[in-house]
């Protein structure tokens, strides 16, 4: 009986073991490496950007990878500085302000009256390691509304794939930054086109 208790305690100790010196948790910052794509013209109005929706999987501040289709797993010793949807919302807002698509870009709920509203949803954002070192896939859905009559002007799905330089979290997060940059570029140009067509 004593021996059984000892075995159980050893097993529990292994399960509760904190990362050792070679397994320290590393925090990664999702960055937008740019450069900024300037809008061909500035729309006279205010855009409100709603906080990005995301499945529960991406509300956890850890990068995600997949070894086989239909599965997703969080990196064990890697963390984002903040959940990816929250960070992507901030990066997108910063890019739209820098690109000059609208006179004013503000977060929804900030007490600012807006003419248009941008809603986004993070559909998928992971490191596919089925064939190492793998690729990063980012899928993001966006829609723009005219707030005066709650009319949906357009909805679009943005997809970016980026090769990963190394089969680890560092390689994955670097490629995720490049994928985010590409999608934010495309979304900025798309939004400029939609509001430009609306003003004709």
Q: How far, in Å, CA of 46 to CA of 36, rounded?
A: 20
pLDDT at 43: 77
Helix (H, G, I), strand (E, B) or coil at 75: coil
State the CB neighbour count (10 A cutoff) for residue 188: 21
Give the pLDDT confidence of 55-109 residue by residue, as tens digits. Answer: 999 999 999 999 999 999 999 999 999 999 999 999 999 999 888 889 999 999 8
Ordered by where they begin, the domains of the chain are: 37-198 (3.40.50.10610)
pLDDT at 112: 86
| Confidence label for 36 from pLDDT (cuts 50, 70 and 90) | low
- Looking from the CA of 144 toward its CB, the CA atoms found within 13 Å total 20
Residue 150 Ramachandran class (φ > 0 left, ψ -120 to 50 alpha, else beta): left
pLDDT at 6: 37
Q: What are residue 152's DSSP bridge partners?
A: 145
pTM of the predicted protein model: 0.83
Give the pLDDT confidence of 100-157 residue by residue, as tens digits. Answer: 889 999 999 888 899 999 999 999 999 999 999 999 999 999 999 999 899 999 999 9
Q: Pairing state of beta strands 43-49 and 102-107?
A: parallel
């Amino acid at each position: 009986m004593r021996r059984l208790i000892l075995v159980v305690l050893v097993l529990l100790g292994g399960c509760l073991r904190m990362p050792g010196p070679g397994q320290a948790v590393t925090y990664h910052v999702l960055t937008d490496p740019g450069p900024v794509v300037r809008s061909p013209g500035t729309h006279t109005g205010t855009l409100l950007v709603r906080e990005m929706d995301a499945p529960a999987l991406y509300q956890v501040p850890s990068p995600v990878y997949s070894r086989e289709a239909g599965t997703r797993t969080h990196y064990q010793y890697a963390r984002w500085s903040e959940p990816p949807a929250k960070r992507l919302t901030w990066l997108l807002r910063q890019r739209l302000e820098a690109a000059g698509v609208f006179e004013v870009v503000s977060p929804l709920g900030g007490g600012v009256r807006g003419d248009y509203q941008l809603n986004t949803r993070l559909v998928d954002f992971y490191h596919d390691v089925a064939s190492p070192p793998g690729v990063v896939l980012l899928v993001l859905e966006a829609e723009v509304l005219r707030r005066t009559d709650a009319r949906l002007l357009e909805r679009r799905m943005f997809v970016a794939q980026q090769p990963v330089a190394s089969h680890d979290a560092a390689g994955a997060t670097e490629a995720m930054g490049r994928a985010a940059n590409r999608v934010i570029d495309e979304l900025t140009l798309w939004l400029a086109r939609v509001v430009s067509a609306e003003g004709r």
